[in-house]
Structure 1
Amino acid sequence: MIPWVHIDTAAIPKDGGTLKLMRRGSEFSIQLGQNELMNSRLSGSEEALAQLACGRVSARPSPRILIGGLGMGFTLRAALAALPERAEVVVAELVPAVAAWARGPLSEIFGGILDDSRVRLHETDVAAPIAEATGTFDAILLDVDNGPDGLTHPGNDRLYDHAGLGQARRALRPGGVLAVWSAHPDAAFTRRLRDAGFAVEEVLTRANGRRGGTRHRIWLAEKPTGGGRR
């Protein structure tokens, strides 16, 4: 068997630990400690995150999308495929090295999607553009952890608590969608989404898409189109 080769290590800001970029032949893996966060062979559920969320807003004249987490670009690629030419996709990536990997060792996987005129890549915590926005985004896609908890960065917990969900709701336009990827179920998070005023749908998907693989889930939380809280 071809052995894994350690390509690079990246520190997560604010003492969040370190990420390792590994390669085995044509396969890449990004790991945090003993946890594999993503693998280049398994992109189905990340693509589903974008397809499900963007599919709900793609008919809007100029949809504006915020993606939290660049990863290996699977969510971004699927979003671009689902959105019209007049769309804008803002990607917030906390770890600068991950953005550098996209143009370096992972450039074959990315295939130039960062050069798409619709893409705006910012090296920042996704919590920042969410907190700054009011009725700005048609969809917010979060794939920054293995679920609604701060695995890769403890500060991410605030994205999923009551205050963070309230900020996400304010950042969305009426009828906008907050989509959250997770490797595991979380009934308490579903309740928090509903408490925050979202209409919630939970979708099961597979790590390898139609070819199967581990079960993952995606929350689709829609902001009401009128009345109620802002």
Structure 2
Amino acid sequence: MGLVHGADQVMVDGVKPFVNLAEARLPDGTLYSLHKHDGKFYLKYNGLDLMSTALTFSEQLLAEKGCANLTDGHASRPKHPQILIGGLGMGFTLKKVLELVGRPATVEVAELVPEIIEWNRSFLVEHNGPLMEDDRTKLYLGDLYDLITKGEAGRYDAILIDIDDTPEMLITEINGRLYTPRFLEKTKQALKPGGCVAYWLAMPTPSFEKGLKRAGFSVQSFPAKPHEKSKRTRHCIYLATPR
């Protein structure tokens, strides 16, 4: 996987430059790239927009729904919540989780791409601060699939997953195994009693909701705006709790 830093600039509308900051290529050829334009950062894969610092509302909503019973001061909050986030991205879900759950807590983050961790430590610090250095943050450099299938049962109060647009719109083909009945069962086993798993999806996906129910979850769906002031909802948060 190669990392390329640079300051290539492409003029946008003839006014402000679109700066290509860094790139990382996965073994399967998938290219992640980080860009900056007009004070905002953009994370892309294979040239397609993945997320940006301009649109963070739905990523924060994922944290709010997944950690609703774990917030600092909540009557049912465990003494030491254990949360797992699948996919670091630009760190906005992690930032919101840390704000919500207070201390003590442990927030594990499974991220497959080491360069994305580095970008959060460098370029994105001006937006999110030193999230990686927070003593509650525990980074797992590797695949969420391996962490859950090989991990201990009953470990997490909440699992938050933001990796693919939908199970039918995967970032990489191997991610398809994250939505199989076997993995859903493993995810359910990884939860503590009363725990939940929350998914961010780019759009409502009824077939996945049915799959969660077949796997033994009760499911709630929440429409999610890309931006707090957006007039239309576009994304969807699925909150699944074992029956």
Q: What is the TM-score of this pair, normalised by structure 1?
A: 0.92
Q: Which consecutive segments of 4 or more residues in structure 1 shift more than 6 A?
A: none
User: Which residue of structure 2 lines up, in the alignment, with residue 54 of structure 1?
Assistant: 67
SS at match of 2:67: helix
Letter in 2 for 1:17: T
Contact kept? 1:207, 1:216, Cα under 8 Å: yes
User: Which residue of structure 1 lines up, in the alignment, with residue 25 of structure 2?
Assistant: 11
Contact kept? 1:134, 1:170, Cα under 8 Å: yes
User: Which residue of structure 2 lines up, in the alignment, with residue 228 of structure 1?
Assistant: none
- Give the counterpart of 2:159 among 140, 154, 159: 140
For 2:216 and 2:169, how far apart are their aligned partners in 1? 23
- Give the counterpart of 1:193 among 212, 227, 230: 212
- Pairing 1:38–2:56 present: no
Shift of 1:57: 3.2
For 2:94 and 2:159, how far apart are their aligned partners in 1? 12
Contact kept? 2:70, 2:100, Cα under 8 Å: no
User: Which residue of structure 1 lines up, in the alignment, with residue 4 of structure 2?
Assistant: none
- Pairing 1:121–2:121 present: no
- Pairing 1:25–2:44 present: no
- Pairing 1:108–2:126 present: yes
- Whichever structure has more strand as a proportion of its residues is 2
Relative contact order, CA 8 A, sep 6+: which one is greater?
1
CA deviation profile, 1:169-228 (whole Å, cap 9, x unmatched): 01111111110001112111001100110110010011112454652100000123xxxx
CA deviation profile, 1:105-138 (whole Å, cap 9, x unmatched): 2221221122211110121111122112311111
User: Which residue of structure 2 lines up, in the alignment, with residue 165 of structure 1?
Assistant: 184
Q: For the structure 1 residues 80 and 91, does the alpha-carbon distance in structure 2 shift closer, same or farther, using more than 3 Å as the test?
A: same
For 2:155 and 2:16, how far apart are their aligned partners in 1? 47
For 1:36 and 1:133, how far apart are their aligned partners in 2? 35
For 2:45 and 2:25, how far apart are their aligned partners in 1? 10
SS at match of 1:45: helix
Q: What is the TM-score of this pair, normalised by structure 2?
A: 0.87
For 2:231 and 2:59, how far apart are their aligned partners in 1? 14
For 2:54 and 2:179, how far apart are their aligned partners in 1? 28
User: Which residue of structure 2 lines up, in the alignment, with residue 2 of structure 1?
Assistant: 16
Contact kept? 2:223, 2:233, Cα under 8 Å: no
For 2:98 and 2:229, how far apart are their aligned partners in 1? 21
User: Which residue of structure 2 lines up, in the alignment, with residue 75 of structure 1?
Assistant: 93
SS at match of 1:163: helix
Count of aligned pairs between the two proteins: 223
SS at match of 2:17: coil
- Unpaired segments of 5 or more residues in structure 2? 1-14, 72-76
Cα RMSD (Å): 1.5
Aligned-residue identity in percent: 37
